[in-house]
Chain A
Amino acid sequence: MAEAETSDRKRNRPLSPHLGIYRPTLTMMMSIVHRATGAGLYFGTPLVAWWLLAAAGGPNGYAKFQGFIGSIFGRVILFGYTWSIIHHLLGGVRHLVWDTGRGFGPAEREWLAAANLFGSVVLTALLWILGYMTMGGQR
């Protein structure tokens, strides 16, 4: 008796999700990217502290910081930091919208995820174009 009941339940109960059989979706990727950008920003923020400390220290130390951030490597990091902060910011707003109980509908969550990605790419590009225009691409 108990056995019949168990197998019946087994057939009808909802299966628990399993990572291995999930098809990657945009919303899922955006969730992972929010965490990844949060972690990236975490390790990037010491650069902000270095920048401020270098400014407080004097012209020589500041030149070292400028040399680093102006190098190709430094620019790549700065670009990554810019995109991460914008993406994480928009993603954070998305989280806060969810916290009000809104934005969970099937169409809304797709739309929000796409807007998050699109917005972060466009805004990052705009900021860098603006940056290069005002700084002439050099320091």
Chain B
Amino acid sequence: MTRGTPLGRVRGLGSARSGTEHFWRQRLTALANIPLTIAFVLLAMTMLGRNHAAVVQILGSPLVAIVMLLFLVSVTYHMKIGMQVIIEDYVHGDGAKYALLIGNIFFCVAVGLTGVYAILKLSFGV
């Protein structure tokens, strides 16, 4: 188990068994989040003052729906990694840590899929 260079052994692993993967994905989603959050803020601003029918029409239009889907996926994935880092920093007891890590994943998936479901429903008009 001691074969390879020290760098080779930690690559892709490390204490969390995921090495630099989280760092990289956090940056990837951060980069994607820049245009997506700007678009989201502007879209939300144009919709928040309007009535239900107008909002349904805007959210269901293809370009807006696609941007919202990308936003939801990127942000909830980014959120999941970010909160995991916070939990790993502050919570050290195994029980509490794993409970929170699991809760974090459930929370982010639930928030993300709720949003995705709503957009798809609006798009396909069921």
Q: Which residues of A contact B (CB under 8 A)?
A: 35, 38-39, 41-42, 45-46, 48-49, 51-53, 55-56, 58-59, 62-63, 69, 82, 85-86, 89, 92-93, 95-96, 99, 127, 130-131, 134-136, 138-139
Which chain A positions have C-beta within 8 A of B49?
131, 134-136, 138-139
Least distance between B11 CB and chain A CB atoms (Å): 19
Q: CB distance B37 to A85 under 8 Å?
A: yes
Q: Which residues of B contact A (CB under 8 A)?
A: 27, 30-31, 33-34, 37-38, 41, 44-45, 48-49, 52-53, 55-56, 59, 68, 72, 75-76, 79, 82-83, 86, 111-112, 114-115, 117-119, 121-122
Q: CB distance B45 to A46 under 8 Å?
A: no
- Bound: A48/B118 CA distance, A: 11
Q: CB distance A53 to B52 under 8 Å?
A: no
- Bound: A96/B28 CA distance, A: 10
Q: CB distance B45 to A48 under 8 Å?
A: no
Which chain A positions have C-beta within 8 A of B82?
38, 42
Which chain B positions have C-beta within 8 A of A45?
75-76, 79, 111
Which applies to chain A's interface (DSSP): helix, strand, loop or mixed? helix
- Bound: A39/B104 CA distance, A: 12
Which applies to chain B's interface (DSSP): helix, strand, loop or mixed? helix
Pick from B30, B37, B114, B118: contact of A95, CB below 8 A.
B30
Q: CB distance A55 to B111 under 8 Å?
A: no
Which chain A positions have C-beta within 8 A of B52?
55, 58-59, 62-63
Q: CB distance A99 to B27 under 8 Å?
A: yes
Among B44, B49, B53, B82, chain A packs the most CB atoms within 10 A around the CB of B49
Q: CB distance B48 to A139 under 8 Å?
A: yes
A-B contact pairs, 20 of them (CB 8 A): A38-B86, A39-B86, A42-B82, A45-B111, A49-B111, A49-B112, A49-B118, A53-B115, A55-B118, A56-B119, A59-B53, A62-B52, A89-B34, A89-B37, A92-B33, A92-B34, A95-B30, A131-B45, A134-B45, A136-B49
Q: CB distance B30 to A52 under 8 Å?
A: no
Which chain B positions have C-beta within 8 A of A131?
45, 48-49
